[in-house]
């Protein structure tokens, strides 16, 4: 098969999905609103929706250690889209979903991708969801990403979300909502860096509805320049369950960071904990690296890199 990707698209795919060629297995690559390549397998079916933009991704019960890539690239200024992807993960299946979005905006109009993802995890299924967001482009047009993730988890299912937004996204408003039945586990790891006048808001709502349901929401972020970040998380313990939420932020320059982690125990056997800390890089950490020969800027960059790793 020919590689239908140009250099900019390859670079973006490398950044968000770790691929520069068409991937093996099930995939769909969406560029500027169109699929430029798609493939299903016996275990993972990709079916395009006919009533709106997006796909149904159906993973067969019992599928073992498989993966599906569905990266999105925007390379035209002025392109705005809302896409609906629904994932049906069969009983006992185990799958990794790689679903990033990269925007290369060359012009003065804004480019926006809103991805609405809904996951239905059947009993004892497992999903690892990796989502990288990245922006670039010499144009003055804004690069906007508003992901919505809805997760419905049946008994004993497990989901891990790794989301990363390190660079180049001017505005993001991220909403993640999940409902967990008996013994279901949701782990969320978010990494975020903003600079310039960027704005990022993250909102989590996790309903622990089943006995033994548990969640761990961990957010690490760095705010530079005049950027603004808002972190909201709501964990509701409605059954004998466990929830933990943690938000650590490094603040630099004239940035501002707001953390609002809400925990509600509606059941005496719900155990909920949250922690949050906002502060600058400790002076002694910088000094230590400077004695090893780094400049102050290099030391800061090193610490930020380590913090977001």
Binding site for a second copy (CB under 8 A): 237, 249, 251-266, 268-280
Strand partners of residue 113: 81, 145
Smaller CB separation from a second copy, 8 or 276? 276
What 50-53 contacts at long range (C-beta under 8 Å, 24+ apart), as own/partner pairs, is 52/84, 53/81, 53/82, 53/83, 53/84
d(CA 235, CA 208): 7
Q: Which is nearer to a second copy, 63 or 215 (CB)?
A: 215
Which token pair is 161?
A: 């979300």
User: 46 or 257, CB closer to a second copy?
Assistant: 257
Min. distance of Cβ 256 from a second copy in angstroms?
A: 5
Compute the distance between CA of residue 190 and CA of residue 87 in angstroms, rounded to an integer.
21
Contact 205, 215 (CB under 8 A): no
The residue written with tokens 């949250």 in the block is 274
* Least distance (Å) between residue 185 CB and a second copy: 18
Closest CB to a second copy among residues 268, 292: 268
What distance in Å separates the CA atoms of residue 61 and residue 64, rounded to the nearest whole number?
9
Which residue number, 62 or 279, has a Cβ lying nearer to a second copy? 279
The sign of the CA dihedral 185, 69, 307, 280 is negative
Q: Which two tokens stand for residue 82?
A: 């809302």
Residue 158 tokens, joined: 């497990």
Between 108 and 282, whose beta carbon lies closer to a second copy? 282
The CB-of-264 to a second copy minimum distance in angstroms stands at 4
Q: Which tokens in the block code for residue 274?
A: 């949250």
Report, in Å, the least distance between residue 237 CB and a second copy.
8
State the nearest-atom distance from the C-beta of 135 to a second copy, in Å. Answer: 24
- Report how far residue 128's alpha carbon sits from residue 43's, in angstroms, rounded to the nearest whole number: 16
Smallest distance, a second copy to C-beta of residue 201, A:
13
């Amino acid at each position: 098969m020919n590689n239908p990707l140009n250099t900019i698209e390859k670079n973006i795919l490398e950044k968000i999905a770790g691929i520069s060629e068409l991937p093996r297995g099930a995939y769909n690559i969406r560029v500027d609103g169109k699929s430029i390549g798609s493939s299903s397998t016996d275990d993972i079916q990709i079916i395009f929706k006919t009533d709106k933009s997006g796909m149904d991704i159906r993973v067969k019960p019992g599928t073992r250690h498989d993966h599906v890539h569905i990266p999105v690239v925007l390379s035209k200024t002025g392109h705005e889209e809302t896409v609906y992807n629904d994932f049906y993960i069969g009983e006992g299946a185990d799958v990794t979903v790689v679903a990033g979005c990269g925007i290369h905006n060359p012009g003065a109009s804004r480019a926006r991708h809103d991805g609405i993802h809904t996951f239905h995890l059947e009993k004892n299924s497992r999903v690892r969801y990796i989502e990288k967001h990245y922006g670039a482009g010499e144009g003055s047009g804004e690069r906007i990403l508003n992901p919505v993730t809805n997760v419905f988890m049946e008994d004993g299912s497990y989901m891990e979300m790794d989301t990363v937004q390190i660079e180049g996204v001017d505005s993001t408003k991220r909403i993640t909502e999940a409902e967990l039945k008996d013994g279901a586990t949701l782990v969320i790891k978010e990494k975020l860096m903003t600079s310039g006048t960027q704005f990022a808001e993250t909102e989590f709502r996790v309903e622990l509805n089943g006995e033994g349901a548990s969640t761990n929401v961990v957010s690490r972020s760095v705010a530079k320049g005049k950027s603004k970040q808002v972190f909201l998380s709501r964990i509701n313990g409605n059954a004998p369950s466990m929830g933990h939420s943690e938000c650590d932020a490094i603040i630099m320059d004239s940035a501002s960071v707001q953390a609002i982690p809400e925990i509600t125990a509606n059941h005496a056997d719900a155990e909920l904990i949250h922690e949050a800390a906002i502060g600058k890089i400790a002076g002694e950490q910088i000094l230590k690296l400077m004695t090893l020969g780094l400049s102050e800027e290099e030391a800061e960059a090193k610490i930020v890199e380590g913090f977001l790793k």
